Chain A
Amino acid sequence: EPEVTQTPSHQVTQMGQEVILRCVPISNHLYFYWYRQILGQKVEFLVSFYNNEISEKSEIFDDQFSVERPDGSNFTLKIRSTKLEDSAMYFCASSDATGPYEQYFGPGTRLTVT
C-alpha cells in the first residue's frame, strides 16, 4: 500500500536556526498539506498546496514558514529562525482529487527546538 514518508523522524535544532522538514507524498496525489501537533494538544492545520502554489494557510503559517515542491516527488516545510514554541510533531499529508477528506498522513517529524 502506498504511503506518505517523512524525514527526518526527529530533528533537534537550536533556537534561531532554520530547519527543513521533508515529505514524499503518495505519487499520484495532487493535494499536499502540513499539520502540526504540539505535545498533548490537537492536530492543527498549517497549509495546503495544490498546483504548485499555496491553496490555504492558517494563522499559524506566518512569514516564518514556507513550503516548496522542489521536484516531482518531494514536498518540504521550511521553518526560519525557529522558536521554542515551534517544538511539535509535524505531519505531512496528501490526497487525490477524488477523496476530499481521505487524507493520508505521514508518520511525522518530531521537531525539538532547544
Chain B
Amino acid sequence: LAKTTQPISMDSYEGQEVNITCSHNNIATNDYITWYQQFPSQGPRFIIQGYKTKVTNEVASLFIPADRKSSTLSLPRVSLSDTAVYYCLVGDEPRGANNLFFGTGTRLTVIP
C-alpha cells in the first residue's frame, strides 16, 4: 500500500475554496486515489475517487498530475458544515474485498 502524506490541519474562511494536497510518491500503476470525509462521531463518507487528470462531482474536484505522485482535493466555497477530517487513501482494485487503511487525515476547520 502506498504511504500518503497530508497536512495535519487547515483553517479556511467560509466561502473560500479549499485545496488539500496529498503526497503519495510510491503510488503503483494500479492504484486509485480516494478521498473520504469524517465528521465528529460519524463514520467516514466517500467523497471522490480518481486515477488520473481531473475528476469532478457535486461535492468536490480531484486533481491528479501526470506523475500521480500527489493529488489535490478541491472543495469550492466551503461552509461551516464542511468542517471535518479529510482522508486521502491510495490502493489498488483487486477483485474481492478492498480494505481501507486510513491515515491521520487533514482536519479542516471552517471559520465564519
Contact = CB atoms under 8 A, between A and B. Distances in A.
B41 interface: yes
Contacts of A56: 97, 99
Contacts, number: 69
B49 A101 contact: yes
B97 A102 contact: no
Contacts of A35: 100
Nearest to B91: A101
B101 A101 contact: no
Interface residues of A, number: 28
B100 to A, nearest CB: 6
Contacts of A44: 102
Interface of A: 4, 31, 33, 35, 42-45, 48-50, 55-56, 58, 89, 91, 93, 95, 100-108, 110
22 contacts: A31-B97, A42-B104, A42-B105, A44-B102, A48-B99, A49-B97, A50-B96, A50-B97, A55-B97, A100-B32, A101-B46, A101-B49, A101-B91, A102-B34, A102-B46, A102-B49, A105-B43, A105-B44, A105-B45, A106-B43, A107-B43, A108-B43
Given A33-B99, A43-B38, A101-B98, 15 more contacts: A35-B100, A43-B44, A43-B87, A48-B97, A48-B98, A50-B96, A58-B99, A89-B41, A101-B49, A104-B46, A105-B45, A106-B43, A108-B41, A108-B42, A110-B41
